[in-house]
A and B are shown apart, each in its own frame.
Chain A
Amino acid sequence: MTDLADLSIAEAGRQLRAGDITSIDLWEATVTRIAYTEPHLHAFLTVDRDGARAAAHAADAAFKAGEDAGPLQGIPIALKDNMCTKGLATTASSRMLEGWVPPYDGTAVAKLRAGGAVLVGKTNLDEFAMGSSTENSAFGTSRNPWDTNRVPGGSSGGSAGSVAAGAAMGAFGSDTGGSIRQPAALCGVVGMKPTYGLVSRYGLIAFASSLDQIGPFARSVEDAALLLEGVAGHDIHDATSYRGEYPTFSDGLDLGVKGLRVGIVKELMVDAIDSEIRSASRAMADKLADAGADVVEVSLPSSEYALSAYYLIAPAECSANLARLDGVRYGNRVPADTTDEMMAKTRAAGFGPEVIRRILLGTYALSAGYYDAFYGQAQRVRTLVRQDFAKAYEHTDVLISPTTPTTAFEIGAKTDDPIAMYYSDVCTIPSNLAGDPSISVPVGLDTQGLPIGFQIMAPALGESTLFRAAAEVERLAEFTARPLLAVSKETV
């Protein structure tokens, strides 16, 4: 019999509504799995056992009363620890916020609670979402459930690992340059970054405001769509929130790709991308063509500069976004004789080296005399990247590429080389600069037995097409492998 922790959200929802299982059953299966996997993975910073149990009881009571708040009612879900949760510590994996308990729920969190979700805990990340491995967490590195000597990717590594290991049925992360799709690829799960503005950023601890988006991790494309539906929608607390209508993403997942115009991005199929990953992407492109898609090669010429532009824009925004962490009103404080000294010492002690590096980079890029050459130039590249996408979408419906240049790398392999680490996001960053939706779907394992992610991109608000294509990729890939950690549990 399948362990309930391994059910899909869609299947669990059917069984809950049929009365075959209860939300408490799901909670129990999840906390049992967490107890087993957590010593190996360190995916969580906080597990809210009691809060989750209360939410599960409430969900069961609601089902009993015939109240149904939607597909996430009673489902155990994990949240990246940069999403503010009222009454539950939120650290962004920084010493700066160690012990800080938000007095408010972010909008996405509030929507999940209103939808009856069971929030099981807060997952590990690179400090303030800056990194691609969780090695920049102040509270220890998370591990990849496929190989615990390897990173789960990042920055949302804890969310990706927890879903892969069955320690949550779904999870949320944030994606600024690939922080959902890259760890999803490395952990063999589905990870999705919505159109900028589709999910409210209110209550998401900001890294780079013009790029950040909250999005789901799931073990199936359908689950990812259900999770996104649970948090999307206009929010009066976010001035960049999308105001218009949008379709139901989980409709049309079985429409297939017949006639869909698919562009494979030339610049993301180069030598710098691991050959096994390129072959897997090429093979999937062929399968899509066999399934009736019209696959062509497209060029995004400016994507060559996207990584550099990103590493100016994101640090520039973060240099201001993180300025509020000054020890004055909340968080940790290093006492000193003067206020200026207190703020300086607090920040020097509270931030890790990567955060400090990016604050310095961003401050420099915005300085008088350098602004135009750095930040100004980066914004111009951003415009070019958008124009490239717009041109490509004139004759395609979706674009495809590998999600990452490599599969999961060993812990410590890139910590001394920030540029190599930054390169982990080379395939994912263009969608962030454009503000477009993008998804990573696992399509196979490499010869080392590590998952390979396949990226699909769509124009802004093209989520329906994106999920439809992703569902077909999922069917064509027939990816059923599970990490050893999740499988071995069943044999214990």
Chain B
Amino acid sequence: MAEWEAVIGIETHVELQTKSKMFCGCAVAFGEAPNTNTCPVCLALPGAIPVPNEEAIEGIVKIGTALDSTINKDSLFYRKNYFYPDLPKNYQISQYTFPVCEFGKLDIMVDGEPFTVGITRVHMEEDTGKSRHVGEGGRIHDASHSLLDFNRSGVPLVEVVTEPDIRTAEQARAYGAELQRIVRTLGVSDARLEEGSMRFDANVSVRRGPDAEFGTRTETKNVNSLRSLQRAITFEIDRQIRVLEEGGEIIQETRHWNEGKGVTISMRIKEESEDYRYFQEPDMLPLEIDEEWQQRVKANQPELPAQKRARYVGLGTDTHTAELLADDPALGGLFDEAVGAGADAKQAGIWLTQEVVAYLRREEKTLSATALSAEHVAELATMVAAGDLSSTASKDVLNGVLAGEGTPREIAESRDLIQISDSGFLDTEVDAVIADNAGAFEKLVAGDMKMIGFFVGQVMKRTGGKADPRLVSEMVRTKVQG
């Protein structure tokens, strides 16, 4: 029998950080006192009706465009009906047929291999309020009462649905990470998984090989990090295979990822697919996104993460450094400026992603809170290229700059780190060392190349560590060839 293969589809909800909510003028703001950012519309008072937010529509068009989707010129809102206390209208305004975006794709890299995930649709909807269950275990079943906060009610929510193209938990994670980067690059959401402004639901099933029919799928919710997404899917794949191999059956159901125990737990059985009684939202007209609007979004699209990574590699950084720079807008921005100011890209990339990142972690600072500028990086790179500064010393100088001690040259001079690369002076020093160590030089001439290190070390000693070791090494070799 063929090997087991998993079939995975991901639904991602992204809260847009617009100025106001999806259908009313209330502010989109978090962490404020409960029910302060509310109005008749987002509390669903009698008589209140929705008006769509243009900024949110622009946000979803940006996402859809970045995901290579078709943007529907006329798109429809629907009511999705279900009763739940944190859903004030007891229907959610969402989309059904004719969502804003359809037929997209996202190219990702998994272990150095390119992989394409099909995007079925990207649609616009609204978020719910939040329930807090009070008493006993804090769960709805044993709570004495529940408190509701509608500050989040009506916050614009974009749902990105993939085709069942994903086959491994690693691919799923890579997809999630890339989608997160894109959303952040577009500036439409901070996409923080731990705070719920980005949320994943994973649909997982398994089958015997790529030609078999799809198996029964489960939907796993409450995945609060990329790592959990990968873990939850891995768990769910293994669980399903185990159940099937033991002769059991997979039940179509919603499961809840328990981070602490590292398992998915059945929430409730979907006996039949829930009937949401979708019908077109009569409070709104079809949403028109004309060609001009679509073109404007396309023209103003920022450089996407994949494009940025490719550009960095083209400049000379390695793939890993390119990823790190592309992932951090502040670091990437400084990198671009430094290269623009003349710094060597490879060198600048390494400094920023290694020394600078280590410093920021150690000092618990953000890049903007340090004194480091693009000009500093360029100056430092020029000094190293000119042989004025050793690679080791450059790291000390960089830390000095980060700490606000001055420009690289000022620091190098005040710490007496400037290298001696005056070849006339060094030649005299090399000759002196050879003269003092005739025996060792004999060995070198006889072919014991290890002795080069000895001579370089001796010169360094005589110059108080300030000679350019690369230059000295070259000179010793020249002497041998005689």
Residues of A participating in the B interface, judged by any CB pair closer than 8 Å? 82-84, 90, 92, 97, 100, 102-104, 106, 201-206, 208-210, 236-240, 316-317, 319-320, 323-326, 328-330, 339-340, 343, 363, 366-368, 371, 375
Contact of B282 among A83, A236, A317, A328 (CB under 8 A): A317
The tally of residues in B whose CB lies under 8 Å from a CB in A reads 30
Tell whether, in the assembled complex, residue A206 and residue B90 are in contact, meaning their CB atoms are under 8 Å apart: no
Tell whether, in the assembled complex, residue B91 and residue A323 are in contact, meaning their CB atoms are under 8 Å apart: yes
Contact of B43 among A84, A90, A100, A329 (CB under 8 A): A329
Q: Which residues of B contact A316 (CB under 8 A)?
A: 279
Tell whether, in the assembled complex, residue A326 and residue B90 are in contact, meaning their CB atoms are under 8 Å apart: yes
Tell whether, in the assembled complex, residue A329 and residue B88 are in contact, meaning their CB atoms are under 8 Å apart: yes
Q: How far is the CB of A71 from chain B (nearest CB, A)?
A: 26
**B224 contacts the other chain (CB 8 A):** no
16 A–B contacts, CB within 8 A, in A order:
A100-B46, A102-B45, A103-B45, A106-B47, A206-B46, A209-B282, A210-B282, A320-B90, A324-B46, A324-B90, A325-B46, A328-B88, A329-B88, A343-B85, A366-B278, A366-B279
Please classify the interface of chain A as helix (H, G, I), strand (E, B), loop, or mixed, using the class held by over half of its residues.
loop
A237 to B42 alpha-carbon distance, docked (Å): 13
Tell whether, in the assembled complex, residue A339 and residue B146 are in contact, meaning their CB atoms are under 8 Å apart: yes
Q: How far is the CB of A440 from chain B (nearest CB, A)?
A: 25
**B48 contacts the other chain (CB 8 A):** yes
Q: Closest residue to B141 on the A side, CB-wise?
A: A338
A325 to B89 alpha-carbon distance, docked (Å): 8
Q: Which residues of A contact B83 (CB under 8 A)?
A: 323, 326, 340, 343
Which 7 A-B pairs rank lowest in CB-CB distance, beginning with the nearest?
A: A323-B90, A210-B282, A209-B282, A366-B277, A324-B44, A203-B47, A84-B47
Contact of A104 among B45, B81, B278 (CB under 8 A): B45
Contact of A202 among B43, B49, B148 (CB under 8 A): B49
Tell whether, in the assembled complex, residue B284 and residue A239 are in contact, meaning their CB atoms are under 8 Å apart: yes
Please classify the interface of chain B as helix (H, G, I), strand (E, B), loop, or mixed, using the class held by over half of its residues.
loop
A100 to B40 alpha-carbon distance, docked (Å): 13
Tell whether, in the assembled complex, residue A237 and residue B49 are in contact, meaning their CB atoms are under 8 Å apart: yes
A362 to B89 alpha-carbon distance, docked (Å): 16
Contact of A320 among B40, B47, B279 (CB under 8 A): B279
Contacts beyond the supplied A323-B91, A329-B88: 18 A-B pairs with Cβ under 8 Å: A100-B46, A103-B45, A208-B282, A237-B51, A238-B49, A323-B81, A324-B88, A324-B89, A324-B90, A326-B83, A329-B43, A329-B45, A340-B83, A343-B83, A343-B85, A363-B277, A367-B277, A368-B275
Tell whether, in the assembled complex, residue B89 and residue A202 are in contact, meaning their CB atoms are under 8 Å apart: no
Tell whether, in the assembled complex, residue B91 and residue A328 are in contact, meaning their CB atoms are under 8 Å apart: no
**B32 contacts the other chain (CB 8 A):** no
Q: Which residues of B contact A339 (CB under 8 A)?
A: 85, 140, 146
Q: How far is the CB of A135 from chain B (nearest CB, A)?
A: 22
Q: How far is the CB of B361 from chain A (nearest CB, A)?
A: 46
A371 to B79 alpha-carbon distance, docked (Å): 14
A100 to B148 alpha-carbon distance, docked (Å): 20
Determine which residue in A106, A238, A323 has the highest number of CB atoms from chain B within 10 A of its CB, and name it: A323
Q: How far is the CB of A318 from chain B (nearest CB, A)?
A: 11
Q: Which residues of A contact B277 (CB under 8 A)?
A: 319-320, 363, 366-368, 371
Tell whether, in the assembled complex, residue A203 and residue B91 are in contact, meaning their CB atoms are under 8 Å apart: no
A316 to B79 alpha-carbon distance, docked (Å): 11
Q: How far is the CB of B369 from chain A (nearest CB, A)?
A: 42
Contact status of A239 and B282, CB under 8 A, knowing A324-B44, A326-B90: no
* Per-residue interface assignment for chain B, residues 115 to 141, with 1 indicating a CB less than 8 Å from any chain A CB and 0 otherwise: 000000000000000000000000010
Q: Which residues of B contact A106 (CB under 8 A)?
A: 47
A326 to B90 alpha-carbon distance, docked (Å): 8
Q: Which residues of A contact B91 (CB under 8 A)?
A: 320, 323
Q: How far is the CB of A376 from chain B (nearest CB, A)?
A: 9
Q: Which residues of B contact A320 (CB under 8 A)?
A: 79, 81, 89-91, 277, 279
Q: Which residues of A contact B187 (CB under 8 A)?
A: none
Tell whether, in the assembled complex, residue A239 and residue B45 are in contact, meaning their CB atoms are under 8 Å apart: no
A205 to B47 alpha-carbon distance, docked (Å): 4
Tell whether, in the assembled complex, residue A103 and residue B40 are in contact, meaning their CB atoms are under 8 Å apart: yes
Q: Which residues of A contact B85 (CB under 8 A)?
A: 326, 328, 339, 343
Tell whether, in the assembled complex, residue A239 and residue B46 are in contact, meaning their CB atoms are under 8 Å apart: no
Determine which residue in A103, A209, A320 has the highest number of CB atoms from chain B within 10 A of its CB, and name it: A320
Q: How far is the CB of A393 from chain B (nearest CB, A)?
A: 22
**B52 contacts the other chain (CB 8 A):** yes
Tell whether, in the assembled complex, residue A206 and residue B49 are in contact, meaning their CB atoms are under 8 Å apart: yes
A325 to B46 alpha-carbon distance, docked (Å): 8
Q: Which residues of B contact A326 (CB under 8 A)?
A: 83, 85, 90
